[in-house]
Amino acid sequence: MFSQLKQRFGSPLSVAIVALIAVWLIGLVILPQLIMVNYSLKPNLLPGEIGGVQDQYTLSNYATLFSNTIHLSIFFKTIWSSVLVTFLTLVVSYPLAFYLAKVATPRQAALCLLLLIIPFWINEILRTFSWYIILAYKGPLNALLLELGLINRPVRFLSGDGGVLIGMVYAYILFMIFPIYNAIESLDSNQVKAARNLGASWLRTHYRVVIPHAKPGIATGCIMTFMLAAGSYAVPALLGSPGSRWFTQIIYNWFFEGGDWNQGAAYAFLLLIICIGFIALVMRVFKVGLGDIAR
């Protein structure tokens, strides 16, 4: 890697690039995770007790999750809901990505991409709060449905996980569209035409030609969407009802309301382990490596 950078940029600039990458990895990725693991293995003690007899490594913070049935159910619900968000985002994003890459003219693709990107110039909390207004009991969506005669009375969209799922699909759709779009764009259009000319239906063409070529992009989009959904706090906090708590809200409570950073670190590390396991599973299912995802 360094030799390739040296040939392209020269020695001084290559050293600077490698040094910046090392600082970023060590200072912003590795050290915070190590500190979190260290916190998670220590009991929550008073300042005067730190360094004393009770200040020893223990797995009790991890055992708390498995002994607390409410937190454990929220943990599994968060993982399942994140998988569902990933699937729904993929279903919405794939047709749009194919249209942008292979069907739309350059002018149409540019306009569509602009319309997708402009809302993301606004802060995520404001975008999420706009969905809170849209999905409210007396919001514009219910007013429209009532006006069209599709419903007899307003629907409580925010009473369960429905509002959270909608908000997350909207919030993370670009993280799914762009990797798939980049993968499909590199596909030779003649392969699609050849499949159609040989009598393959559109469904079979996508299954046998387009999707195998776009696997790295699909895997990247799924990984990014799942990790963002599993680690989201703003969307479930604004769009979720009291009975639809997210695991990140439990972690937040441990840190900032309960004051137990050790317990919060243990919960956060368990969530990180699940996310890493999901990445490995997706890579195995799509049969792609880290090099394919990093393209």
The tens digit of pLDDT for each residue in 22-67 reads 888 898 888 988 988 988 988 887 777 777 777 788 899 999 999 9
**Residue 114, both tokens:** 């602009």
pLDDT digits (tens, 9 = 90+) for 91-107: 999 999 999 998 888 89
Please tell me the distance from the alpha carbon of residue 207 to that of residue 213, in angstroms, as a whole number: 10
Instruction: Provide the pLDDT for residue 292.
Output: 62
φ and ψ at residue 103, rounded to 5 degrees: -110, -50
- Residue 5 located in a structural domain: no
pTM confidence score:
0.86
- Residue 7 located in a structural domain: no
Q: Rounded to a whole number, what is the distance in angstroms from the first to the last CA of the chain?
A: 15
User: Looking at the chain, how many residues does it have?
Assistant: 295
Token pair 């005067």 in the structure block, residue: 48
What is the sign of the dihedral through the CA atoms of 106, 107, 108 and 113? Answer: positive
Is pLDDT above 90 for 18? no
Tell me how many domains the chain contains: 1
How big is the CA angle at 246 (ends 96 and 293), to the nearest 5 degrees? 40
- Residue 243 located in a structural domain: yes
pLDDT band at 222 (very low <50, low <70, confident <90, very high): very high
- Residue 275 located in a structural domain: yes
Q: What CATH number should be reported for the domain holding residue 253?
A: 1.10.3720.10
Q: How far is CA 32 from each of CA 14, 69, 269, rounded to the nearest angstrom?
A: 26, 29, 11
- Residue 44 located in a structural domain: no
- Residue 61 located in a structural domain: no
- Residue 192 located in a structural domain: yes
Token pair 């975008």 in the structure block, residue: 127
Residue 261's domain comprises 68-293
Helix extents (H) in the chain: 2-9, 11-25, 31-40, 60-67, 69-98, 106-117, 124-134, 140-148, 162-185, 189-197, 202-205, 211-230, 234-239, 247-252, 261-286, 290-293
